[in-house]
Structure 1
Amino acid sequence: MSRFHPLNVASVRAETRDAVVVTFEVPPEHRAAYRYEAGQHLTLRADIGGEEVRRSYSICSAAQEQTLRVAIKRVDDGLFSSWAFEQLKPGIVLDVMEPAGHFNVPLAPQRARHHVAFAAGSGITPILSLIKTTLLAEPLSRFTLVYGNRASSSVIFKDELADLKDRYLSRFNVVFILSREQQDIDLFNGRIDAGKCEALLRSWVNPADIDIAYICGPQLMMEQVRDSLIANGVAKADIKLELFGTAMNGAARRDRRPAIKGSAGCQITVIHDGLSRQFTAAKNGPSLLDAALASGIELPYACKGGVCGTCRCKRLDGEVELDNQFALEDYELARGFILSCQSFPVSDAVTLDFDQET
């Protein structure tokens, strides 16, 4: 169930000049609701200047810790991140949605795998959770991180990554790629793009040795790394992608010609939190999510750009057209899952279930 609860901010710690780590205090009565897995995120909600603003941030703690902690990077002209830097202090109460997301794979202590991650900038946040969780949960597995930044001063979690390297000398390897600071090894200079990924796969990471690959960063970087991995023999099913937080709030929507069958209106049935509700939406109008919100039905959402996956639901019947989507795996699409923020009605009736996980 994706609900908001008011949580106290327990601490706010400066991580870099433009990033802070925020830890929330979870009262005993909500601890079960806030149990999270590695790679999941939280949606935060605040009233800023009379406007409700939501943003999603990845949890950066290991699943074994069960400490609700996120990193917020200040973005130029970022409404929520600027407010957070100025207003968030210990004792402040903030609305926090229960954890969501599927940027992970099942872990098992008997497995001996090589997990590899490519991250850029604040894309390290879910990756850090994955690294810590995996090294603890799979003592026979290894983890390699390729992490891109402008300079060493902008590396988020630099000290924590160094501590992990000291603790897991033979099982954790990290490569820093810097675009504006020269390093002794030329391979580690520049940006993580198709050429850099190809060079790394030739001389640093054997693609045949990769069991699971995680990619988190800007869309172009993710696509180029994914394509390089696939071209070098890594199965698409073994590659997990997630756009980093700033992209969640500005994903572009393509021009569309709505597909319409039958009448101009659609009868929508929404199942959420065990309740079934109905409303009518125009087929050439707003998305299913926006139509539900306009009808007074509160549903889970954050970015409205097809990125965060908070509005994920299962289409039980009817036909919809899905626009941009960056959050669903192929197997989820095959099972009927959609993103309501990017889905538009096509048939005369559609039923959506927000309570189904699989």
Structure 2
Amino acid sequence: MFHPLRVSAVERITDDAVAVTLAVPSELRETFRHKPGQHLNVRYRLGGEEVRRSYSICAPATERPGDPALRVGIRMVDGGVFSTYALKELAVGDHVEAMAPMGRFVLEPRPGHFAAIVGGSGITPVLSIAATLLAREPLARFCLIRSDRTAASTMFLGEVADLKDRYPDRFQLVTALSREEQAAGLPSGRLDRERLTTLLPALLSVPDVDGWFLCGPLGLVREAEGALRALGTDRARVHQEIFHVADETTSRPAAAQVAAAAESRLTATLDGRSGSWPVQDGESLLDTVLRSRADAPYACKGGVCGTCRAFLVSGEVRMDRNYALEPEETGAGFVLACQSHPVTPEVEIDFDR
């Protein structure tokens, strides 16, 4: 369900990025109370067309009874309809519609040593995670390893510096710039698997880190995941969120080349109501539901945000791609409706699980 929220601030934080703050009415205070690391799915009409996007909340998670702080970071994307609008036209007093915060890329404050490897706008949810953790848990430490193109393109530079000043003994910051030399710190260059495999043990005791949070473009996340795997990190301690995936032109791997059913029928449960519809040729399960249920949950339709996550009750499906669900989730029977196509004549999914 979407709720209209008033824009209370628009701050330019780099040449190509803004931080947008949304005011929360008192009656929606609990609806929009977020966990550190969650995101907002927003909806807006531009030129008569509905645009949906997903943006991570960068503000620390507030504790009751305070008002929830909804501040999101938006970076301009080439050809991005909403990001272009946000940077050039969105103003205080405008309204955007938003769903309640969601997402499982979260860290509830607890004692321990945690670390993040982020690239570009991947800092957004991690800023909320680190700020919340350090403020609420005096026995926690956090190491942030971030990669950006240049210092001028670095989002939330001041907020991260403030964490370093406020928690000098518990917050460690390492910055790598891929296109610019720094006066101090790491030499310029990408944080690839080889470099991270050498760098990480020099920064901290990798086996003692209780949780790793990887966020940013697909390439960086995969390189970081490979480095942690090479260093023997338990996969259960590694959490990831993809912010950008380039269009895929390569064919699917052999294991995914499963023929779709010639004729199939989908049964779906959403908000306690069930319906059944024929799946049209080439149609995803989400598009099938949307033909009759405009309230079906989605944002990116690219297999990245996880908004359309559903439980596969029966039947078999083929997912084109998945950058949102953890292996434990797919193993438990969850699928992304926007990427799923029926393989069996009958398929049933449940959005309410």
Return the TM-score normalized by structure 1: 0.91
Of 305, 311, 321, 1:314 maps to 311
Question: In structure 2, how many angstroms separate the alpha carbons of the residues matched to 1:280 and 1:137?
Answer: 50
Code of the aligned partner of 1:82: T
Question: Runs of 4 or more off by more than 4 Å in structure 1?
Answer: 253-258
Q: Which amino acid aligns with 1:238?
A: R
Counterpart-to-counterpart distance in 2, 1:62 and 1:142? 16
| Residue 88 (1) aligns with residue 90 (2) | yes
Q: Does 1:304 align with 2:291?
A: no
The structure-2 alpha-carbon separation of the partners of 1:302 and 1:34, relative to structure 1 and needing over 3 Å to count, comes to: same
Distance (whole Å) between structure 2 residues aligned to residue 236 and residue 155 of structure 1: 29
CA distance in 1, matches of 2:50, 2:248: 21
Total equivalences in the alignment = 345
What secondary structure sits across from 1:220 in the alignment?
A: helix
- Equivalent residues of 1:103, 1:240 under 8 A apart: yes
Structure 1 residue identity aligned to 2:2: F
Cα distance in 1 for partners of 2:274, 2:163 equals 47
User: Which residue is equivalent to 1:259?
Assistant: 259
CA deviation vs aligned residue, 1:1-23 (integer Å, no higher than 9, x gap): xx111111111111112111101
Residue 37 of structure 1 corresponds to 35
CA offset digits 1:159-180 (Å, max 9, x no partner): 1111111111100011110122
Aligned counterparts of 1:188 and 1:318: Cα–Cα separation in 2: 52
Match runs of 1:322-337 below 5 Å: 322-337=319-334
Q: How does 1:140-159 map to 2 (within 5 A)?
A: 140-159=139-158
Which residue of structure 2 aligns with residue 17 of structure 1?
15
Q: Deviations over 1:222-275 (max 9, x none)?
A: 11111111110211111111112x44xx653765655245xx322222111222
Distance 1:5 1:251, change over 3 A: farther
Counterparts of 2:184 and 2:166, CA distance in 1: 25
- The within-5 A match list for 1:232-243 is 232-243=231-242
Amino acid across the alignment from 1:333: T
- State the match for 1:70 in structure 2: 72
1:343 and 2:340 aligned: yes
Alignment of 1:1-358 (within 5 A): 3-64=1-62, 66-108=68-110, 111=111, 113-185=112-184, 187-244=186-243, 246-247=244-245, 251-252=247-248, 255=251, 258-260=258-260, 264-282=262-280, 284-356=281-353
What amino acid sits opposite 1:259 in the alignment?
Answer: A
User: 1:76: how far off?
Assistant: 2.7
In 2, Cα distance between equivalents of 1:125 and 1:251:
23
CA distance in 2 between partners of 1:209 and 1:135 (Å): 18
Residues 175 and 188 of structure 1 are in contact (CA less than 8 Å); yes or no, is this contact kept in structure 2? no
Shift in Å at residue 297 of structure 1? 4.2
Q: CA deviation at 1:149?
A: 0.9
Q: 1:188 to 1:138 in 2, by over 3 A?
A: farther
- Secondary structure, aligned partner of 1:98: coil
Q: Which amino acid aligns with 2:316?
A: E
The DSSP-based 3-state class of the residue aligned with 1:187 is: coil
The TM-score normalised by the length of structure 2 is 0.92
The two structures, once aligned, show a CA RMSD in angstroms of 1.8
The whole-number CA distance in structure 2 between the counterparts of 1:50 and 1:253 is 31
- Secondary structure at the aligned position of 1:280 is classed as strand
Residue identity in the other structure for 1:292: V
Distance 2:350 2:5 in 1: 27
Indicate if the aligned counterparts of 2:22 and 2:70 stay in contact, CA closer than 8 A: yes
* Contact kept in structure 2, 1:42 and 1:58, CA below 8 Å: yes
1:204, distance to aligned residue in structure 2 (A): 1.8
Quote how far apart the aligned CAs of 1:75 are.
2.1
SS of the counterpart of 1:80?
helix
How many Å separate the matches in 2 of 1:297 and 1:79? 21
Supply the distance in 2 between the matched residues of 1:252 and 1:98 (Cα, whole angstroms). 30
Kindly provide the amino acid, as one letter, of the partner of residue 134 in structure 1.
L
